[in-house]
Amino acid sequence: MTRKAALAAALASFIGAVAALPTSANYTEVHPIVAPTAYPDVEETWTDPWRCATEDPMTYLSVPMPTGALGEAYNSFGSSLIQTCLTSGTYDYPCAFPDKSRWCGFTTAVPASLLPDYTAYARNCSSWWAANSASVIRIAEECPVMWYQASNFGVLGGAIYLNHTLINAECYAEANPTGIQSAPTWPTATPGQGATSGPNPASTSTTTRPAQTSGIPSSGE
């Protein structure tokens, strides 16, 4: 699927999601666009249109992050997902980013005491994606060189953290189909760079990664 075709499919999914499934973030096709792991194909120019100079991609790389005990548990879980890659001695760094369904299994692995923090974090991801997805996809599509450089080098781990945000937004949406946030429906995660890196834990516990859809407590619990 070409970049433009992928964008068209993503936008169609977004419109359908807003109308019918408010909390859906559908991560499958949008992921390659908003979390690129390779320099974009911009033909012979290798530059973006002049209007991209008026955009500020950094605005959209400040995403919700799991912190404190939740962040530590989340990072530990992420490491377990790529353990085979890390110990094989034959992998190409970085390891492929684990599939969304595996990340959504976090809720079955995290201590019950951290589930409220995780639910709050996943809800924040859903809210953030609902509010910023249209702008993120537009800039990533119209200014691919700028977006690639900003998400991979402008903010260290930016593409990875954004990837986590999309995943958790969708996991939350699947667990809370009648939630109040309107988030886009995007394609699923495509294995890519960044699996070895995760959000850095901070001093306060506020978030974690989604688990299997049935494992995330609903917003009413």
Who contacts 15 (Cβ-Cβ below 8 Å, separation ≥6)? none
Q: What is the pLDDT of residue 208?
A: 34
Q: What is the pLDDT of residue 93?
A: 54
Listed residue (199, 188, 214, 210) closest to 103, CA to CA: 210
CB half-sphere exposure, 190, CA atoms < 13 A: 14
**Between residues 126 and 23, which one has the greater pLDDT?**
126
**Amino acid at position 1, single letter:** M
Using pLDDT thresholds of 50, 70 and 90, give the confidence band for residue 187: very low
Listed residue (151, 164, 136) closest to 39, CA to CA: 151
Q: Which two tokens stand for residue 80?
A: 């377990």
d(CA 102, CA 1): 25
Using pLDDT thresholds of 50, 70 and 90, give the confidence band for residue 125: very high
**Between residues 79 and 92, which one has the greater pLDDT?**
79
Q: What is the mean pLDDT of residues 145-169?
A: 86
Q: Exposure of 121 by Cβ count < 10 A (0-12 exposed, 13-18 middle, 19+ buried)?
A: buried
Please determine, for residue 40, whether its predicted confidence score (pLDDT) is greater than 50: yes
Please determine, for residue 43, whether its predicted confidence score (pLDDT) is greater than 80: no
Q: What share of the chain has pLDDT > 90, as a percent?
A: 17
Sorted by where each begins, the domain ranges of the chain are 3-36+55-175
pTM of the predicted model as reported, rounded to 2 decimal places = 0.65
Q: Which two tokens stand for residue 110?
A: 């995290």
Using pLDDT thresholds of 50, 70 and 90, give the confidence band for residue 159: confident
Please check whether residue 177 is in contact with residue 23, taking contact to mean a CB–CB distance below 8 angstroms: yes
